[in-house]
Structure 1
Amino acid sequence: MHISRVDLNLFTVFEAIYTEGSVTRASQKLNLTQPAISHALNRLRQMFGDPLFVRQGHAMVSTPLARSIIDPIRRSLRNLEVTLNGVHAFDPASTQKRFNLALRDVLESTILPPLMLRIREHAPEVDLAASHVERRELETELAAGSLDAAIDVLLPLSSDIMHTRIYQDATVVVARSGHPDIDGGLDLETYLKQDHILASSRRRGPGLEDFELSRFGVERRIRLRCQHYFAACRVVSQTDMLLTMPGRYAHVANQQFGNQILPFPLDVPAFDVFLYWHANVDADPANIWLREQIMESAHG
């Protein structure tokens, strides 16, 4: 079939249904009526001679054929978008645009303030939406274009996802001011004698620092497991418990508590934080600009 006989808008509908898993959500995403989406899906089914999506409960589940063609269709749509953006060059001073950025909540307090300062200064019509995205969904969202970029630790993603290191962060220990056993210094023996807080979104399992301790044949006593570092810092300020956490966020979260921030008492490597984007937008002027702002903000 020659491409001149194909309505290219059908592929946008196909990608939206695949990403959203729902005709209703696809219609909302594309700002089209559900009958229009259903009509486009019927045309796609006739074109490919395949149902493409099968309803299971409330979800539209893709067929093997749909799964085999989604990647080249996504690449083609993104390449076309990049081409159009190249014709209409991105001008941050005047362009109205919203970027979608995925990052963990622990990174928001350190990444977003300097990033928004730069955006407000250089791009008054640009908006930014930051959200938490499950790591298993990150590659799909970047490929679909529902995410422009992501910031996280090193992840096992495919070669379609490009990345660069933003910065390195150290592991630190937080103790309250006036702790009876700690006054500006901390050795491993003292660290292991204390009760500890583990901040984690997971309900069970050790923290990264526990893996490092196990390499040296030692372990600590975790008396409290909670979800957020900020809450843990407040507990630290009112108890003699210790908290181990990333250094950059420690300096932000403890400003109002006056807690001590001390080096982790083992020689462990700093951990890397990376910026991720899809290869399809590697040459997109708008995405390039966003990545530059993130890099400048992280190093500023």
Structure 2
Amino acid sequence: MLKTFDMNLLLVFNTLMEERSVTRTGERLGRTQSAISNSLKRLREALGDPLFVREASGLMPTPRAEALAPEVEQIVRQTERCLRQDTEIDLATNDAHFVIGAPDRLSLPVFLPFMRYVHAIAPHMRLDLRTSDRDISIRLLASGEIDLALGWFDDLPPSMLRSIAFSEALVCLCRKGHPILRSKGAVDFQSLLAYPHLVVRSGGGRHAAFDAILSRIGHARRVQTALTNFTLVPHLLRDSDQVGVFTKRTADYFAANYDLAVMPIPLEIAPISHEIVWHRRFTNDPAHRWLREQIQKACTAES
């Protein structure tokens, strides 16, 4: 029967039950009186019952109509909920679960304050932070293992969307009292390459973005230590003559919290742009959109 039944007739039936008038039903639904009468006729034929009889006070439902009314009303209300696009979320009760992919360098300067803020105003929302860089993040987004990513990206597949979060320069991070700090202004380029370097790359390996930049101008650095996260960075730099070239936000965080020093590097390098990237199927999801907005605010506040 569903193959031939017009589901719009259920809306007419539900409104007739509420209004008990063909005229008022037509006014509510924006249809003519004759159109409502025709719909009622089709309902009667489909259900094999008069459904409504006319009395002085208006249309009176038959027992069959009275029995159908609660179920039809539920169908109409559920359909309305399905079609309605919710634009607001209840932060006090929302229990959405999000997995965010980002390079480890952003964990402390960006995501530590971000997560504290989200947990304070949305206590039931669950957040997981997964360390991942460019290609890994795109692969995880495509597979659905993460819900959004923050970082530095090149080309994106058509299924992904992006928005600019912030940009920052590369700087030199080292211990206070390091001989390299004798330079005034930017670190001397030859001195920068003369000292052993500490590299952090979440995907492993001993090369990072700065190495690609050096290679383009015919130089290379001596990497003494390679790590996959920043946990040991302040301790290794503070106790040795190693230096690190990191994005400014990360370096500033360690300088402020671990008594290290930051200096500009002597190269004309365009600032590194960080972007928020997500799968386009989540673009209009209210909770996902809210989370993207909060990450954007956190990035702006920290820049």
TM range (shorter): 0.5 to 0.7
2:173 is matched with 174
Deviation of 1:114 (Å)? 2.5
Aligned length: 222
Please tell me the residue identity of whatever aligns with 1:287.
Answer: H
Alpha carbons of 1:140 and 1:235: their partners in 2 closer, same or farther (altered >3 Å)? closer
1:153 is matched with 152
Give the SS at the match of 2:115.
Answer: helix
| Mapped partners of 1:206, 1:249: distance in 2 | 18
| TM-score, normalising length: structure 2 | 0.64
Alpha carbons of 1:143 and 1:195: their partners in 2 closer, same or farther (altered >3 Å)? closer
Please tell me the residue identity of whatever aligns with 1:112.
Answer: F
Alpha carbons of 1:224 and 1:128: their partners in 2 closer, same or farther (altered >3 Å)? closer
Deviation of 1:135 (Å)? 5.1
| Mapped partners of 1:175, 1:246: distance in 2 | 13
| Mapped partners of 2:82, 2:292: distance in 1 | 19
2:128 is matched with 129
Alpha carbons of 1:85 and 1:163: their partners in 2 closer, same or farther (altered >3 Å)? farther
2:198 is matched with 197
1:119 is matched with 118
Deviation of 1:200 (Å)? 2.5
1:257 is matched with 258
1:272 is matched with 273
Alpha carbons of 1:87 and 1:166: their partners in 2 closer, same or farther (altered >3 Å)? closer
| Mapped partners of 2:143, 2:190: distance in 1 | 50
2:211 is matched with 210
| Mapped partners of 1:271, 1:255: distance in 2 | 22
Higher relative contact order (CA 8 A, sep 6+): 1
Unaligned runs of 5+ in 1: 5-81
CA displacement 1:192-250 (0-9 Å, x = unmatched): 22222222345545322122223333322223333333423322211122111111111
8 Å CA contact 2:97–2:125 kept in 1: the answer is: yes
Please tell me the residue identity of whatever aligns with 1:95.
Answer: N
2:22 is matched with none
Task: Point out the more displaced range, 195-204 or 84-93.
Answer: 84-93
Alpha carbons of 1:253 and 1:89: their partners in 2 closer, same or farther (altered >3 Å)? same
Please tell me the residue identity of whatever aligns with 1:249.
Answer: T
Percent of aligned pairs sharing the same letter: 23
Higher radius of gyration, 1 or 2:
2
| Mapped partners of 1:134, 1:266: distance in 2 | 24
CA RMSD after TM alignment = 2.9
| TM-score, normalising length: structure 1 | 0.65
8 Å CA contact 1:141–1:147 kept in 2: the answer is: yes
Give the SS at the match of 2:150.
Answer: strand
8 Å CA contact 1:102–1:132 kept in 2: the answer is: yes
1:94 is matched with 93
8 Å CA contact 1:184–1:262 kept in 2: the answer is: no
Instruction: List aligned pairs for 1:217-228, cutoff 5 A.
Output: 217-228=218-229
CA displacement 1:94-125 (0-9 Å, x = unmatched): 32222221222221112222212331343232
Give the SS at the match of 1:241.
Answer: coil
Give the SS at the match of 2:181.
Answer: coil
Task: Point out the more displaced range, 218-227 or 257-266.
Answer: 218-227
Please tell me the residue identity of whatever aligns with 2:189.
Answer: L
8 Å CA contact 2:134–2:153 kept in 1: the answer is: no
| Mapped partners of 1:163, 1:211: distance in 2 | 24
Alpha carbons of 1:132 and 1:211: their partners in 2 closer, same or farther (altered >3 Å)? closer
8 Å CA contact 1:161–1:277 kept in 2: the answer is: yes
Give the SS at the match of 1:100.
Answer: strand
Please tell me the residue identity of whatever aligns with 2:167.
Answer: Q
Task: Point out the more displaced range, 249-258 or 141-150.
Answer: 141-150
Deviation of 1:261 (Å)? 0.6
8 Å CA contact 1:163–1:276 kept in 2: the answer is: yes
| Mapped partners of 1:145, 1:283: distance in 2 | 17
